[in-house]
Amino acid sequence: MLRASLLCLFLCSLSVLQSVAAEPLQVPQPPAWGSINAGDGAVGRATFHVERWPTDDRLILPAGFPQIVRATLQVGDRPEELIVELNTDATEVAVLLPKAARSAAAVVAVETGESSRQFDDGRIVFTADDARIVGDTAKLEQHPGNSRIGFWSNAADHVEWSSNPTRWGMYDVSLTYSTASPTGSAVEVELGSEKVTGRLMSTGSWYRYAVLPLGRMYVEATKGQTLTVRCTDMVGGAFMNLKAVTLSPACEGQSPAQADDGIVSLHGRDACVLGTSLRYEPAEEKQTLGFWTRPTDAATWSFTVKQAGEFDVEVLQGCGPGQGGSVMTLDFDAARASPPLEFAVEATGGFQDFRARIVGRVGPLAAGQHTLRIVPKHIAKQAACDIRQVRLLPVTPGP
């Protein structure tokens, strides 16, 4: 039957999200170097298409573009982190391109964050604007497009935020920062019982911002926690300018690989959850992706195929009485491998009453890395379904 707390959680999550809803990104004038796909303000992402390479390797942004907390050059499967440089009053903002990429058209993905919030894709950004500063020297400095905690010259100072994520789960933690001090200062980020640490690389200027990945942490609680950033070892006369801390949804377990019998098993515990309500429920009797109450929430897997071929797609799905009828979309390799599959959710007697169903066929899939994304196309009632596992079953060729 439907969890007693599901509807309450759904309504509470909805009210939180409504309070931080974002407007679509606005681009008043196309830049001289190409075009900007402003994307969706609800996920805080945009894409820059470089059609005319700037001679100084600097993508000057249109005035009024939202604050950038990360920029990456999209090169194959391994994006390259880029520096964002501002002048002293942030009236000019530029993304710095690597000279080695000059010969080709480039695509740059950016993440934005004007104020602290959780985006629809699950990314949580804590920005300098609403940090609580504890100490004698660190203070908030603000220009449009460049808010940061600066003047951080006392290693005993720290900054903190109240943390109220809408779901538990695994996250990658990163800092957006600048420092003209020498490389080597040590930073610690703490949330609940979890800590991640790292050492700052000099960015060469207080106006050149980079992203430092710090590691992965599991967020166990959704209310009443404090996220804290501390200096544990200062090199030079000042620590850093801190623009933002970002928690990005991460793989809950391991990246699956095809077994010797040819089957690829994609368990919910190995998914990356992109959303604000959906989460992996690790309890022994559940072990499932549950709380699928929002149509924008998605589960993704990155997996390895060792032997190329076609596969029947089997979904282990559960759904409460009277809750069937939702439609789920399964998209392999962003529709490059074959068209997306769809299936209508069947009520099974309970959200943890799982039944295996073949919902279609995919392929051929070449040997190598692939992705699967599952997202609701339509949610008929309060929740779409629970999915414990997806299996790709190799199709045996006929005689």
pLDDT tens for the chain, 399 residues long, are 334 333 333 333 333 333 344 455 666 578 999 999 987 677 899 999 999 999 999 999 998 888 999 999 987 667 899 999 999 988 999 999 998 888 778 899 999 998 999 999 999 999 999 999 999 999 999 998 899 999 999 999 999 999 888 899 999 999 999 999 999 999 999 998 899 999 999 999 999 999 999 999 999 877 778 999 999 999 999 999 999 999 999 999 999 999 999 999 999 999 999 999 999 999 998 999 999 999 999 999 999 999 999 999 999 999 999 999 999 999 999 867 678 999 999 999 999 999 999 999 998 999 999 999 999 999 999 999 999 999 999 997 644
Q: How far apart are CA 124 and CA 191, in angstroms?
A: 13
Residue 150's pLDDT is 97
| Inter-CA distances, 91 with 87, 130, 145, 151, 248, Å | 7, 22, 8, 21, 29
CB of 199 within 8 A of CB of 186? yes
Report the distance separating Cα 233 and Cα 55, nearest Å: 40
Cβ(141)–Cβ(162) under 8 Å?
A: no
For residue 66, which of 112, 126, 115 has the smallest C-alpha distance? Answer: 112
Write phi, then psi, for 107 (nearest 5 degrees).
Answer: -120, 125
Report which residue type is found at 160.
E
CATH number at 251-394: 2.60.120.260
- Asked if 274 and 121 count as a contact pair (C-beta separation under 8 A), the reply is yes
The pLDDT assigned to 8 comes to 36
Tell me how far apart the alpha carbons of residues 62 and 116 are, in angstroms, rounded to a whole number: 23
- pLDDT at position 222 is 74
Residue 203 near residue 148, CB atoms below 8 Å: no
Phi, psi (degrees; rounded to nearest 5) at 195? -140, 145
Output the CA torsion sign for 182, 186, 190, 194.
positive
Q: Give SS3 for 124.
A: strand
Among residues 314, 313, 343, the alpha carbon closest in space to that of 327 is found at: 343
Asked if residue 301 lies in contact with residue 266, where contact means CB atoms within 8 angstroms, the answer is: yes
Decide yes or no: CATH 2.60.120.260 for domain 116-249: yes
For residue 130, report the phi and psi dihedrals to the nearest 5 degrees: -120, 25
Pick the closest to residue 240 from 275, 197, 204 (CA basis): 204
What CA–CA distances, in Å, run from 242 to 145, 204, 214? Answer: 13, 15, 14
pLDDT at residue 13, rounded to an integer: 34
- Return the bridge partners of 225, or none: 163
Q: Quick check: helix, strand or coil at residue 5?
A: coil
What residue spans of the chain are helical by DSSP H? 6-19
pLDDT for position 203: 97
What's the pLDDT at 101?
A: 83
Boundaries of every domain in the chain:
116-249, 251-394
> Which residues are within 8 A (CB) of 95 and not within 5 positions of it... i.e. 6 or more apart?
48, 58, 59, 61, 68, 71, 82, 83, 84, 85, 108, 110
| Predicted pLDDT of residue 17 | 31
pLDDT at 15: 31
Q: Are 42 and 23 in contact (CB under 8 A)?
A: no
Residue 363's pLDDT is what? 84
Q: Which single residue is written with the structure tokens 């808010």? A: 147
